[in-house]
Homo-oligomer: A and B are copies of this chain.
């Protein structure tokens, strides 16, 4: 059982509730961190009446299990949060936002070339990895801060917002210095320490679903971020692992309308990782918009075959331009625009 205290509860309020539980012989634990204090209670609360707990002024609510609260705080008529990207664009409103760019930042020329092309085609943000979570330690791990500097330069040239991945708690500050949106990748969706660290800074967080994660775990990962005070979380579906072999991942699009039913958080789709095949990116982008996605994040490279990473799934700049044009009709069918 979880006792959630009011956001403005003081340390003294927490002590009071812990004292009450202790006097009643009930094991309990004050969950550390988080702007909204919570106390987990173990075992039966025997002599202690639940309604007594609920009636205490510092108690906001009592939950029977540790599901998400902030991530699903919506009523049927609530609009999706409109999350500002820092360059005037937003994710979550009527406009469908496209984030595009290479898997990895390889060189300044490469990132500038791609940035100008995707800007021209209608993207609002540039993606590109400077810190790369690679399966093999023998593979390119990203240019690190040098890559971040190249991204910042691309922002100067194009006005695109920068979306880039952060992989460790002690890099959050560094990445947040250069990026407009911090990406937490699929491999780190369960890295609760990193989630909390991202929640302690102010830039929006793009959170990708783990390929083996349930919807509940996905929303609870968002909760880890939000509980630290950063409510600007953008969820991203990027495919799950299944028995299918003709694709790199199984893009599970039903999560889009389900997240929008449960939550006010915007949700976007990554059809590049979600299929791993460049020839499937256009149809799955169209499908993503059709089922309600608030945006897309797409791998684009100026020379896909020579890409240092993820060559099979990147579009070239012309293919991306065609994708963006083709999307307009589907956005229109949803009464939205690009």
Q: Give chain A's interface residues, CB within 8 Å of chain B.
A: 2, 4, 27, 29, 31-34, 38, 40, 42-43, 63, 65-69, 106, 133-141, 144, 167-170, 187-188, 190-194, 196, 210-212, 214-217, 220, 223-224, 227, 240-247, 250-254, 256-258, 261, 274-275, 277, 279-280, 283-284, 286-292, 306, 308, 329-330, 332-334
Q: Which of B40, B133, B192, B253 contacts A133 (CB 8 A)?
A: B192
Can you list 8 contacts pairing A with B, beta carbon distance less than 8 Å? A66-B134, A242-B242, A242-B250, A253-B284, A253-B287, A258-B277, A290-B290, A290-B291
Expressed in whole angstroms, the Cα–Cα distance for A141 and B225 within the complex equals 15
11 additional contacts (CB under 8 A) given A214-B244, A289-B290: A32-B141, A32-B144, A136-B223, A137-B192, A168-B168, A168-B193, A212-B243, A214-B246, A243-B243, A261-B279, A283-B291
Expressed in whole angstroms, the Cα–Cα distance for A170 and B4 within the complex equals 29
Q: Is the CB of B192 within 8 A of A190?
A: no
Contact A253 B256, CB 8 Å, known A137-B220, A190-B133, A240-B243: no
The count of identical subunits is 4
Expressed in whole angstroms, the Cα–Cα distance for A2 and B254 within the complex equals 33
Least Cβ–Cβ distance between A294 and chain B, in angstroms:
13
- Residues on the B chain within 8 Å of A286, using CB: 290-291, 333-334
Q: Which of B40, B252, B292 contacts A138 (CB 8 A)?
A: B40
Q: Which of B33, B135, B223, B243 contacts A241 (CB 8 A)?
A: B243
Q: Is the CB of A27 within 8 A of B136?
A: no
